Structure formats: C-alpha cells, structure tokens
Amino acid sequence: MDAGKAIFETVDKLRQRRTGPLVLELDLTEGLTEGPPTDPLAAVLSMRKPRLADVLSGLRRARHDPRVKALIVRLGGNPLGLATVHELRQAVIRFRTSGKLTVAFAETFGEFGGGTVPYYLATAFERVCLQPSGDVGLTGLAMEQHFLKGALTKLGVGYEVGQRHEYKTAANMFTQDRMTEPHRESMSRILESVTETFVAGIADGRRLDPGKVRELIDRGPFSSAEAREAGLVDELAYRDEVYDEVKRAAGPEAHLLYVARYAKAAAVRKLSHPMADSIALVHGTGVIRTGRSGRSPLGGSGAMGSDTISAALRAARRDDHVKAVVFRVDSPGGSYVASDTVWREVTLTRKVKPVIVSMGDVAASGGYFVSMGADVIVAQPGTLTGSIGVYGGKPVLSEMLEKIGINSEMVSEGANAGMFSPSRGFSPEQWARVNAWLDRIYDDFVGKVAQSRDLTRERAHELARGRVWTGADAHAGGLVDELGGLEDALALARKRARLSDDAPVRVYPRMNPLERLRGPDSSEDKSAALARLRLDAWGPFARLSAELGLPAVGPLILPAWYVIR
C-alpha cells in the first residue's frame, strides 16, 4: 500500500513539473561560456557554466510560454564582459515586455570593490534585491595599464618594435613609460562611450534622471541601506526570502528550472527533424592562430585555429540544409596569416549563402579581420572592435645577458638568418625589412576593410590606424552595421534566408560520436573542424607572449589590458 502511494506521489510530482508554473532561474556567479566546448578540457572547465546561446534562446521562448511566470537571476562572482552584459540585459528587457516578473538578486555588487558592470545588468530587472550585508559598488569605470619600460631598462632589456599606426599601442607597455596622447585619447573615448550607455541604462531601469545617476556614481560605493535610500535597490533580503517571495507570486505549484535546461529541452524537440532547413552557428573564440582550435592544459583561454574555423565554415557552406551562417566572433586577434585564412572562407561562404557576424565582448584587430567580409556585422554597444593595425618587433636581451655573464654566439648561413634572435638588435637592413612587412600587412588590412565595408581607402585609413572603438562608435563610423546581440544576428539570418522565425539553429561542425572518434578523411572532411589540446600553447601566458612578439600568436592582437573594471 505504501509502495503504491509513493509511486502515485512520484507520478503526480512529474506531472506537476511537466504542466505546473515555472520560475526560470539563472545563476551568473560562475559566469557564462560563449560557445559549446571544443575539446575535452573545455568540456570539463565549462561543466557548471550555462551557454550564452542557450540562455538567450530560453528567454526568447519563455516570453511566449504561459507556464513561465517569472525569472530570477543571481548576480556576483565571476565578472562578465561588457557585450555579454548587453546581450543579457537586452534579453531581460524583452522578456519583461511579456508582463512576467523579473527579479535580480545579489549578495553584493562588489565586496570592497567595484560593481558597476553587474549592477548595470541588474537594472534591467523589475526588482533589484540585495543581501542586507552587501554593498553597491557603483563607482564608475576604469582602465589601467602598467608600463614596464623603466624596469626593463634596469634589467638591460630593450625592445625594438614598429607599429601601424599611432593608435596601435599593444607594445607601449614595453616601449613607453607613460601613455602617448593617441593612447590616452583612444582609451578615454572608450570609457566615455561605455559610460554614456551605462548612465542611460541605469537611469531608464531605475527611473532616475541621468544627471542624478552621474551624481550617484561619483558618490559610490554605497552600503545596502544607502543604496535602498538612493533608489538603487528595491529590497534588502536574503536569498531564501527573495526566492520564497518569487515562488509565491508564481503560484503554489511553481518550481524552479534553470534557463539553460529549459532551452535545451525545447532544442531537442526542435531538432528532431535533422533534415530541416536551419541556420548554422559557428563560434570563433580566443586568440587567432594557424592550425586547430583548442587550449593548453596549462590553463588560459582557448585559441581560434584557422583550420578548425575554416573547416566549420566549409561544412556549413556545403550543407544544402543550411540556409545562412552566423559567425560568432569573440577574439582579440592574433596571427595575420590565420586571420586572412578565415577571412577567405567567410568571403567564399558569403557567395553561396548569407553570412552574419555577431561580435561578442571583443572582436578587434584579427578579430575584426575575420569579421569584415560578412554581409552584416552586428555588435553590442560595449563590444571592443576595430584596432585595424599591426605591430611587430622583438625584445633585445643582449645587455641583460651581458650583465649576468652569458655570452651568445651564432653561426648562420644567410645575411638575415638570425634576425629574429633576441640576443641582438636588428641591423638597418633588417629593420627596413621589418617595416616593409608591417606596411604590407597594414595596406592589405585597410584595403580589405575598404572593399568589405564599401568605404574609400582614405576613410578606411582614418578609421584604422590601430584605434580601438566601442561597438557604438564603430557603428557610427561604418565599421559595424547594426547594434544588437546574438539573437538579433540569428533573426537577421533567418530573414535573409527566408526562414520562419523559429527555424532551428545548429552549431557547426555537427558530428556524431563515430565521426569524432575516427578522425577526418581529408582537410575537406567536417571532422577536420574538431579542436584539440594545444600542448605547444603558452597557456595562461598566451596574451603576454603575443605582446612580446613571440611566434605563438601573431601581429594582429588587442592588448590584454583593454579590460574595463
């Protein structure tokens, strides 16, 4: 009798979970992943993180689902990039138009630290709740760079570098002891542009005057009581109190469900017809380099391999059921040659079917190179893009080696065989070759920008010169076509392909387990798009190796210090 009762209760609970009201939950304390895992290590590292595409598609579907009554998001922990924050904020605002409850909860917006970016995301929600012991670190935005020239000089390390042009400041940390005027101008405008967006968003979300928001930023940070008094938060409460309140508002049988789980359940049903016409989604994430994508087991971010991305684009191009391609780019750049390889595949694909680029947090230098050939470029206002320029050179260690008693000798055949050795500087003839190389790359980059973006070469050069732009300013200058996120890019791709608004999206390369195990038959096989562990990568030092001019990455790179906090 007891067993039968238990079975009945279990079945009833399952029925309620299938038919009862839902409160969607999103935990952002562990951050988000940009795309699906591309290698075993990435799969392990991203196990607890929801995918951005799943979150966006889940919120899009939930707007029209009568079962979904509310959305609650927990903020804090790992920081999110500016473009990612814009993506989520936009999705939440659209979700709110359906009339459903939205609540943001944080233990703190910065514990003895800045919290402007997560707080900006929170203001998209109808209610903002803060733990009583928390703070609101609304202190504004800052970018900081350390200059190492003085320390390197004391160590006996010189640096010979050329750059095209004055705004290409990636190597300045090694060659300057302070910001140059173009350097300061570029960074100041980035902060001004992002601040303008943040002030407008916070003012709209909290129903405050923009002037009042700027005043509050200058007064921050705030204790929880001060934040509530200033109208920055609605309620001071602990997690259990906030969650209980939301579930009561949703109904007595309401249960929690992560947004990503909700989205995946819908995706399984949508993809039950494998031969349906669809949109291909190709993710290009990390520093760009030749070979296959992947990451080092030493840690650090992954790499966008030109072989992997090219194979994915070829597979999507040749699939008759793929009617358009969305290329999601989140990269600071890297190798010029690898970037050019991917650019070629983008232009070839564009001749067959529409290609829409969706820019993530950063799509600059080589990240812009691989994007510029698309039919349409979509970026968020806070995306860092542009940086159309090049630099190259090497550290010169001869004085340091002499100081510590190391003598270096070289035997070579060929006048320039040892020109890239850090043990000696460039000769005048070698320096002339380096500058010719930089001129060639810059001219090719600017020429392709002009051709791809329908600009005169003079206008392309004016927008280039190595300058980094926000997505908002890049849009005003014609480097970006539309402001928006991944969902906007997918909607545009569906429209261009004349597909329905709910046409499925398939991540490319799409392979079954057997295809993943057997390996590719040739470079034309879609299995060639698989990533790998990069045992030869620099791991967590990959960005530094690029800035030092080491060969693992390349000359089209946005410096790591372009981080807004």
Confidence class for position 515, pLDDT limits 50, 70, 90: low
> Is 103 within 8 Å of 250 (Cβ atoms)?
no
Q: What is the pLDDT of residues 154-184, one digit of tens each?
A: 888 888 888 888 988 888 888 888 999 999 9
The pLDDT assigned to 416 comes to: 84
DSSP classification of residue 541: G
| 512 vs 525: CA distance, rounded Å | 13
Cα distances (angstroms) measured from residue 190 to each of 162, 248, 386, 472, 564: 24, 43, 12, 10, 9
Among the options 365, 371, 387, 452, which is catalytic?
365
| 453 vs 375: CA distance, rounded Å | 9
The pLDDT assigned to 471 comes to: 96
What pairs with residue 396 in β-bridges? 158
The pLDDT assigned to 553 comes to: 46
DSSP classification of residue 51: B
The pLDDT assigned to 74 comes to: 95
The pLDDT assigned to 165 comes to: 86
| 302 vs 314: CA distance, rounded Å | 22
| 523 vs 500: CA distance, rounded Å | 33
Among the options 57, 69, 100, 168, which is catalytic?
168
The pLDDT assigned to 564 comes to: 62
Judge whether 495 counts as a catalytic residue: no
Strand, coil or helix: what is 164? strand
Please determine, for residue 547, whether its predicted confidence score (pLDDT) is greater than 50: no
List phi, psi (to 5°) of 49. -105, 130
Confidence class for position 562, pLDDT limits 50, 70, 90: low
The pLDDT assigned to 309 comes to: 93
List phi, psi (to 5°) of 509. -80, 145
Q: Average model confidence (pLDDT) for the chain? A: 85
Please determine, for residue 302, whether its predicted confidence score (pLDDT) is greater than 80: no
Judge whether 365 counts as a catalytic residue: yes
pTM: 0.85
Sign of CA dihedral 403, 175, 361, 358: negative
The pLDDT assigned to 251 comes to: 87
The pLDDT assigned to 267 comes to: 60
Going along the chain from its start, the domains and CATH numbers come out as 2-139+220-262 (3.90.226.10), 274-407+417-557 (3.90.226.10)
Q: Give the helix ranges, DSSP H, for 419-512.
A: 428-453, 457-463, 471-477, 486-496
Strand, coil or helix: what is 258? strand
| 461 vs 368: CA distance, rounded Å | 14
The residue count of the chain comes to 565
| 285 vs 296: CA distance, rounded Å | 14
> Is 555 within 8 Å of 336 (Cβ atoms)?
yes
Please determine, for residue 4, whether its predicted confidence score (pLDDT) is greater than 90: no
Q: What is the pLDDT of residues 217-275, one digit of tens each?
A: 999 899 999 999 999 999 999 999 999 999 999 888 889 999 989 988 766 555 556 66
What pairs with residue 159 in β-bridges? 395
**Percentage of residues in the chain having pLDDT higher than 70:** 81
The pLDDT assigned to 551 comes to: 43
**Percentage of residues in the chain having pLDDT higher than 90:** 58
The pLDDT assigned to 520 comes to: 61
Quick one: average pLDDT of 432-440? 91
Neighbours of 362 (CB within 10 A): 25
Q: What is the pLDDT of residues 346-384, one digit of tens each?
A: 999 999 999 999 999 999 999 999 999 999 999 999 999
Q: Give the helix ranges, DSSP H, for 38-123.
A: 40-45, 52-62, 82-96, 116-122
What pairs with residue 279 in β-bridges? 324, 505
Confidence class for position 540, pLDDT limits 50, 70, 90: very low
Between residues 494 and 159, which one has the greater pLDDT? 494
| 24 vs 68: CA distance, rounded Å | 7
What are the helix and strand counts (H, E) for the chain? 22, 24
